[in-house]
Amino acid sequence: MNTTTKIFLGLGLFLVGGLLAAGQPQAGNKLDVDTCKAITGKTYQAYSSGKFDDFPDAASAMLLKVDGAGKGKARAFSGYDPKTTAALQQELSTTCGTLPEGKSYLKFTVGNGVDAGTAYIWSYNNGERVWAESAMPGRPMKGWMLQVPAAPVGRK
Protein backbone atom coordinates (compact mmCIF):
# COMPACT_ATOMS: atom_id res chain seq x y z
CA MET A 1 0.00 0.00 0.00
CA ASN A 2 1.58 3.30 -1.08
CA THR A 3 1.67 6.47 1.02
CA THR A 4 -1.10 8.23 -0.92
CA THR A 5 -3.45 5.28 -0.43
CA LYS A 6 -2.67 5.21 3.30
CA ILE A 7 -3.38 8.94 3.60
CA PHE A 8 -6.72 8.67 1.78
CA LEU A 9 -7.68 5.56 3.76
CA GLY A 10 -6.86 7.33 7.04
CA LEU A 11 -8.76 10.45 5.99
CA GLY A 12 -11.75 8.33 4.96
CA LEU A 13 -11.79 6.50 8.30
CA PHE A 14 -11.51 9.83 10.14
CA LEU A 15 -14.44 11.31 8.20
CA VAL A 16 -16.65 8.23 8.64
CA GLY A 17 -15.87 8.09 12.37
CA GLY A 18 -16.65 11.79 12.73
CA LEU A 19 -19.96 11.44 10.93
CA LEU A 20 -20.96 8.46 13.07
CA ALA A 21 -19.99 10.26 16.26
CA ALA A 22 -21.74 13.50 15.28
CA GLY A 23 -25.19 12.00 15.77
CA GLN A 24 -24.46 10.63 19.24
CA PRO A 25 -24.10 12.43 22.56
CA GLN A 26 -20.38 12.73 23.22
CA ALA A 27 -18.68 11.46 26.36
CA GLY A 28 -17.91 15.06 27.40
CA ASN A 29 -21.58 16.01 27.32
CA LYS A 30 -23.23 16.22 30.73
CA LEU A 31 -26.99 15.64 30.65
CA ASP A 32 -28.85 18.50 32.33
CA VAL A 33 -31.29 17.67 35.13
CA ASP A 34 -33.83 20.34 34.08
CA THR A 35 -33.84 20.81 30.31
CA CYS A 36 -36.47 23.59 30.30
CA LYS A 37 -34.43 25.59 32.81
CA ALA A 38 -31.21 24.94 30.86
CA ILE A 39 -32.57 26.37 27.58
CA THR A 40 -34.26 29.42 29.12
CA GLY A 41 -32.95 32.75 27.84
CA LYS A 42 -30.88 31.20 25.04
CA THR A 43 -30.84 31.26 21.25
CA TYR A 44 -30.33 28.15 19.12
CA GLN A 45 -29.60 27.20 15.56
CA ALA A 46 -31.14 23.82 14.95
CA TYR A 47 -31.17 21.21 12.25
CA SER A 48 -33.00 17.93 11.90
CA SER A 49 -33.38 15.27 9.27
CA GLY A 50 -35.18 12.00 8.72
CA LYS A 51 -38.44 10.59 7.44
CA PHE A 52 -41.42 12.95 7.12
CA ASP A 53 -44.55 11.17 5.89
CA ASP A 54 -43.66 9.74 2.45
CA PHE A 55 -40.32 11.53 2.20
CA PRO A 56 -37.42 9.46 3.62
CA ASP A 57 -34.80 12.21 3.68
CA ALA A 58 -36.50 15.44 4.73
CA ALA A 59 -34.40 18.19 6.29
CA SER A 60 -35.19 21.22 8.42
CA ALA A 61 -33.29 24.19 9.83
CA MET A 62 -34.52 26.59 12.51
CA LEU A 63 -33.54 29.63 14.55
CA LEU A 64 -35.13 29.43 18.01
CA LYS A 65 -35.04 32.15 20.68
CA VAL A 66 -36.24 31.09 24.15
CA ASP A 67 -37.17 33.86 26.60
CA GLY A 68 -36.75 33.95 30.37
CA ALA A 69 -40.12 32.23 30.88
CA GLY A 70 -39.24 29.23 28.68
CA LYS A 71 -41.39 30.37 25.76
CA GLY A 72 -39.83 30.66 22.35
CA LYS A 73 -40.20 32.10 18.88
CA ALA A 74 -38.80 30.22 15.92
CA ARG A 75 -38.38 30.56 12.20
CA ALA A 76 -38.12 27.21 10.44
CA PHE A 77 -37.33 26.14 6.89
CA SER A 78 -38.15 22.58 5.83
CA GLY A 79 -37.57 20.67 2.62
CA TYR A 80 -39.38 17.42 1.98
CA ASP A 81 -39.43 16.49 -1.70
CA PRO A 82 -35.99 16.63 -3.36
CA LYS A 83 -37.67 16.55 -6.80
CA THR A 84 -38.94 20.12 -6.30
CA THR A 85 -37.41 23.38 -5.20
CA ALA A 86 -40.37 24.10 -2.93
CA ALA A 87 -39.75 24.40 0.79
CA LEU A 88 -41.91 25.31 3.76
CA GLN A 89 -41.16 28.40 5.83
CA GLN A 90 -42.95 28.90 9.15
CA GLU A 91 -42.92 31.26 12.10
CA LEU A 92 -43.57 29.17 15.19
CA SER A 93 -44.16 29.68 18.88
CA THR A 94 -43.00 27.09 21.36
CA THR A 95 -43.34 26.22 25.01
CA CYS A 96 -41.02 23.95 26.97
CA GLY A 97 -42.62 21.44 29.33
CA THR A 98 -41.82 18.31 31.28
CA LEU A 99 -43.94 15.16 31.43
CA PRO A 100 -44.61 13.50 34.83
CA GLU A 101 -41.97 10.86 34.09
CA GLY A 102 -39.37 13.61 33.59
CA LYS A 103 -39.10 13.71 29.78
CA SER A 104 -38.88 17.29 28.45
CA TYR A 105 -40.50 18.52 25.27
CA LEU A 106 -41.02 21.55 23.05
CA LYS A 107 -44.61 22.08 21.92
CA PHE A 108 -44.80 24.05 18.65
CA THR A 109 -47.74 26.11 17.44
CA VAL A 110 -48.29 28.29 14.40
CA GLY A 111 -50.62 31.26 13.95
CA ASN A 112 -53.34 31.41 16.61
CA GLY A 113 -52.24 28.30 18.46
CA VAL A 114 -52.61 25.70 15.69
CA ASP A 115 -50.67 22.57 16.69
CA ALA A 116 -47.44 22.24 14.70
CA GLY A 117 -46.03 19.24 16.56
CA THR A 118 -43.96 18.25 19.55
CA ALA A 119 -40.30 17.33 19.95
CA TYR A 120 -38.79 15.51 22.92
CA ILE A 121 -35.57 17.19 24.01
CA TRP A 122 -32.49 16.40 26.12
CA SER A 123 -30.05 19.20 26.93
CA TYR A 124 -26.36 18.91 27.72
CA ASN A 125 -23.81 21.19 29.39
CA ASN A 126 -26.32 23.75 30.72
CA GLY A 127 -28.19 24.00 27.43
CA GLU A 128 -25.14 24.29 25.20
CA ARG A 129 -26.46 21.44 23.03
CA VAL A 130 -29.95 20.00 22.84
CA TRP A 131 -30.87 16.71 21.15
CA ALA A 132 -34.40 16.78 19.69
CA GLU A 133 -36.59 13.95 18.40
CA SER A 134 -39.99 14.45 16.80
CA ALA A 135 -42.89 12.93 18.74
CA MET A 136 -45.15 12.94 15.67
CA PRO A 137 -46.10 9.52 14.22
CA GLY A 138 -44.71 9.01 10.70
CA ARG A 139 -42.29 11.91 11.13
CA PRO A 140 -39.30 10.58 13.10
CA MET A 141 -36.98 13.49 12.35
CA LYS A 142 -34.20 14.21 14.81
CA GLY A 143 -31.20 16.46 15.21
CA TRP A 144 -29.25 18.97 17.31
CA MET A 145 -30.08 22.43 18.58
CA LEU A 146 -26.80 24.29 19.14
CA GLN A 147 -26.62 27.36 21.35
CA VAL A 148 -25.59 30.48 19.47
CA PRO A 149 -22.67 32.07 21.31
CA ALA A 150 -22.50 35.79 21.99
CA ALA A 151 -21.06 37.91 19.19
CA PRO A 152 -17.33 38.57 19.40
CA VAL A 153 -16.40 41.74 21.26
CA GLY A 154 -14.45 44.43 19.41
CA ARG A 155 -15.32 43.42 15.84
CA LYS A 156 -15.34 46.23 13.30
Q: What's the rounded Cα separation, in Å, for the pair 94 and 117?
A: 10
- Residues 30-62 pLDDT 10s: 988 899 999 999 999 999 988 787 778 888 899
CB contact set of 94 (below 8 Å; sequence gap of 6+) = 64, 66, 71, 72, 73, 74, 106, 107, 108, 109
* pTM flag (> 0.85): no
Cα–Cα distance, 53 to 136 (Å, whole number): 10
**Alpha-carbon radius of gyration of the chain:** 18
d(CA 125, CA 137): 29
Q: For residue 5, what pLDDT is reported?
A: 34
List the domains of the chain with CATH numbers.
35-147 (2.40.128.20)
| Percentage of residues in the chain having pLDDT higher than 70 | 81
Average pLDDT (109-114) is 89
**Which pLDDT score, from 0 to 100, does residue 11 have?**
36
Distance CA 89, CA 99 (A): 29
